[in-house]
């Protein structure tokens, strides 16, 4: 008992010293934990040029003079915010005036003007028009293809001024396939081509013949399916688009035989045209678009702006904004003289650019203010898609660290987080997704010196190549955006 009593003060002193030492270690651990940099960037409101979305300029709208004829060769309408595609819609006869002899410059000349500016091109070649006698080349008729003359709006008439082919005639189909083969050899799979319309059936390529050869819808369904298959046979890499009116211009209901078939083949939807009639008949196929937009970029074409405005079908621009919402549109046409239209609708254009397609927003990001070279560290981020459609091409977040000279010190890409999965939502209510990434800078190679680096964020390929424009300031010119700095330590 006495021995125990004598030993007790030493034991208590040991416990006390150990507790103090542990506390010191704990305090030291807390003080050495790196501070975190937290950034909450604001959307800068910029119009974005990104894959699978944007405004499409109608350089040719069937009639060659509409609407690029007033543009000088150097005028690529750069002032239109969000313009990403030039659209070329012409009759077949203008491209192949003689069998096997092609007028490629009529397409390539305007296309290259925009391609040189980093934009893309889209096509529709038509076989039926109500302003030129032979949209399908006359040599096709002379080769034995059957067809009918018609008077626009009244149907077949032996002495009518316009000619429609029998769209299922074997001679016609053989010549058409040769034409599609030549088009595909020239344009299929080229990264500069955004999409190609299946527009070889019906008036203006829209898929209806009510004002021309008046083919019954049941028969039309059989023929159009043949035309779809012909395009699929030759265009294996470029995105194809079916026009909504193949189901009937005013047919309601999401599921229709031809559009369902097109969707099953990976073909997207194009609506020609909205705002032709005043409300409540501004459009008919938003429900149909609901089947397409979750996986494919929907294309919306508004009526020629001037006539639409003249008929009271345009309104104050809010209808066009609503159409983007209802269709979850990724592409929207400029269907008028572009300079004149922009001058009158700039407020509407700016509002649409905040919603058209996808809009990836970095809501917040944090990282340690200093990290050890070769040791892992965590980055936390929050993202939202403020557009109306998914980011169809997908993209992976990457951090790029640069030194004071702008040299790339480290590229840190997170291949586990595809921003394709961000869900769009109603305006101002986009769901926010949180993600935690684990990175290591300077592990093994290349040799990494200690020092302070600028931190840039980007979205693109798995290897860190930037692709997607973000609505952020401080762009380095390659779609990387500076957020702050980090200290690399030995």
Domain residue extents for the chain: 32-46+359-489, 54-353
Sequence-distant (6+) residues with CB within 8 A of 167 are 127, 200, 201, 202, 215, 223, 227
CA distance 478 to 144: 55
Question: What parts of the chain have a pLDDT lower than 50?
Answer: 1-33
- Kind plus residue range of the DSSP H or E element containing 388: none
| pTM > 0.85 | yes
For residue 476, count CB atoms less than 10 angstroms from its CB and return exposed for 0-12, middle for 13-18, buried for 19 or more: middle
Sequence-distant (6+) residues with CB within 8 A of 464 are 398, 400, 411, 412, 413, 458
- What is the reported pLDDT for 17? 38
- What is the reported pLDDT for 27? 33
- What is the reported pLDDT for 34? 59
Is residue 407 within 8 Å of 447, Cβ to Cβ? no
Is residue 242 within 8 Å of 261, Cβ to Cβ? no
- What is the reported pLDDT for 317? 96
314 in helix, strand or coil? coil
Residue 215 structure tokens: 């083919």
Torsion of CA 152, 338, 308, 131, to 10 degrees: -10
Torsion of CA 185, 136, 120, 463, to 10 degrees: -40
CA distance 227 to 230: 5
Q: What are phi and psi of 258, to 5 degrees?
A: -75, -40
CA distance 39 to 59: 43
Is residue 223 within 8 Å of 167, Cβ to Cβ? yes
Q: Determine the CATH number of domain 32-46+359-489.
A: 2.60.40.770
Torsion of CA 330, 274, 241, 199, to 10 degrees: -150
Sequence-distant (6+) residues with CB within 8 A of 440 are 374, 375, 376, 377, 412
* 3-state helix vs strand vs coil in the chain, percent to 5: 30, 30, 40
Residue 152 structure tokens: 């626009």
> Which option is the CATH number for 54-353: 3.40.718.10, 3.40.50.300, 3.20.20.80, 3.30.70.260?
3.20.20.80
């Amino acid at each position: 008992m006495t021995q125990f009593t004598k030993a007790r003060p030493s034991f208590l002193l040991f416990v006390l010293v150990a507790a103090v030492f542990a506390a010191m270690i704990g305090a030291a651990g807390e003080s050495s934990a790196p501070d975190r940099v937290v950034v909450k960037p604001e959307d800068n409101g910029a119009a974005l040029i990104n894959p699978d979305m944007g405004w499409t300029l109608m350089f040719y709208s069937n009639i060659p003079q509409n609407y690029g004829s007033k543009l000088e060769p150097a005028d690529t309408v750069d002032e239109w915010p969000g313009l990403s595609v030039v659209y070329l819609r012409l009759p077949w006869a203008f491209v192949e005036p003689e069998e096997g002899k092609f007028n490629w410059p009529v397409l390539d000349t305007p296309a290259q003007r925009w391609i040189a500016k980093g934009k893309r091109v889209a096509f529709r070649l038509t076989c039926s028009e109500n302003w030129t006698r032979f949209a399908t080349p006359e040599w096709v008729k002379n080769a034995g293809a059957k067809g009918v003359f018609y008077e626009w709006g009244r149907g077949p008439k032996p002495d009518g001024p316009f000619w429609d082919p029998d769209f299922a005639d074997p001679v016609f189909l053989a010549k058409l396939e040769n034409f599609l083969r030549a088009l595909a050899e020239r344009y299929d799979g080229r990264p500069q081509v955004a999409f190609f319309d299946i527009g070889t059936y019906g008036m203006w390529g829209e898929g209806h013949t009510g004002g021309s050869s008046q083919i019954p819808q049941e028969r039309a369904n059989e023929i159009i399916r043949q035309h779809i298959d012909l395009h699929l046979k030759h265009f294996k890499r470029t995105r194809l688009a079916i026009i909504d009116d193949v189901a009937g211009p005013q047919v309601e209901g999401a599921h229709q035989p031809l559009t369902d078939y097109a969707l099953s083949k990976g073909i997207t939807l194009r609506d020609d045209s909205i705002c032709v009639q005043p409300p409540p008949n501004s459009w008919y196929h938003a429900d149909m678009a609901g089947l397409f937009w979750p996986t494919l970029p929907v294309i919306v074409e508004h009526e020629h702006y001037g006539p639409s405005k003249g008929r009271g079908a345009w309104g104050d621009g809010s209808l066009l904004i609503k159409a983007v919402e209802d269709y979850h549109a990724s592409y929207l046409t400029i269907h008028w003289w572009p300079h004149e239209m922009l001058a009158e609708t700039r407020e509407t254009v700016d509002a649409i650019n905040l919603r058209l397609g996808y809009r990836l927003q970095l809501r917040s990001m944090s990282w340690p203010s200093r990290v050890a070279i070769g040791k892992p560290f965590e980055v936390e981020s929050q993202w939202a898609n403020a557009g109306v459609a998914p980011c169809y091409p997908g993209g992976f977040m990457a951090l790029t660290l640069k030194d004071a000279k702008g040299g790339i010190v480290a590229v840190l890409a997170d291949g586990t987080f595809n921003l394709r999965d961000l869900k769009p939502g109603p305006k101002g209510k986009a769901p926010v997704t949180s993600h935690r990434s684990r990175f290591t800078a300077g592990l093994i190679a290349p040799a990494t010196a200690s020092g302070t680096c600028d931190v840039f964020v980007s979205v693109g390929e798995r290897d860190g190549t930037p692709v997607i424009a973000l609505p952020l300031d401080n762009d380095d010119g390659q779609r990387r955006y500076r957020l702050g700095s980090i200290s690399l330590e030995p």
